[in-house]
Amino acid sequence: MWGLIAQGVPCSGLKSEGLYRVSGFTEHIEVVKMAFDRDGEKANISANIYPDINIITGALKLYFRDLPIPVITYDTYSKFIEAAKISSAYERLEAVHEVLMLLPPAHCETLRYLMIHLKKVTMNGKDNFMNTENLGIMFGPTLKRPLEDSTLTTLHDMRYQKLIVQILIENEDVLF
């Protein structure tokens, strides 16, 4: 699935307005995701086939959302939420780093790679209008969710989910 980022987004889409916020055509998103599920290395997502970058970004978000175990695992979810609630920025960053170390190595590496990419997205914010807050809104619920999903929990944790993603993007160089 990382081919979605490597092939599609950096080449043609970092300046695309609303990157990761604007949705692509649902049927095309499903086709791209199924192609990667079948054989990710052979999936072709070139701009010639999918000129709408929102299809590629939509497939990436769908991939993360559909993972049986989220990138930010169920057992670390509440620890990340608690870290986000810390008022001191320095202590909050330290707490986030400590929780990151509890993630399985593959999950931590996935987050690192994604945060490097999302930081590049924010560096093109004057063109794509995507800052860390907007990306936090888009990726917070996508990368982490509680084991027992309830509307009340979702609403209560939403701002902290967003904040964690913001912290990860803004501090990817020191956290990973």
* 14 shares its domain with 81: no
pLDDT at res. 9: 64
pLDDT at res. 10: 58
Task: For 96-168, list the strands marked E by DSSP.
Answer: none
Which residue range(s) make up the domain with 102?
68-176
pLDDT category, 43, cuts 50, 70, 90? confident
pLDDT at res. 153: 78
Query: Whole-prediction pTM value?
Result: 0.90
* 58 shares its domain with 84: no
121 burial type by CB count under 10 A (0-12 exposed, 13-18 middle, 19+ buried): buried
* 107 shares its domain with 140: yes
* 85 shares its domain with 116: yes
| 175 Cβ neighbours under 8 A, 6+ residues apart | 93, 96, 97, 100, 115, 167, 168
Residue 41 has pLDDT above 90, yes or no: no
* Residue 72: φ, ψ to 5°: -90, 105
pLDDT at res. 7: 52
Sequence length of the chain is 176
Question: Using one digit for the tens of pLDDT, what is the confidence trace for 60-107?
Answer: 999 999 999 999 999 999 999 999 999 999 999 999 999 999 999 999
Between 90 and 6, name the one with better pLDDT: 90
Question: Using one digit for the tens of pLDDT, what is the confidence trace for 98-149?
Answer: 999 999 999 999 999 999 999 999 999 999 999 999 999 999 999 998 888 7
Number of structural domains in the chain: 2
Boundary of a domain, candidates 21, 50, 66: 66
* 59 shares its domain with 105: no
* 114 shares its domain with 168: yes
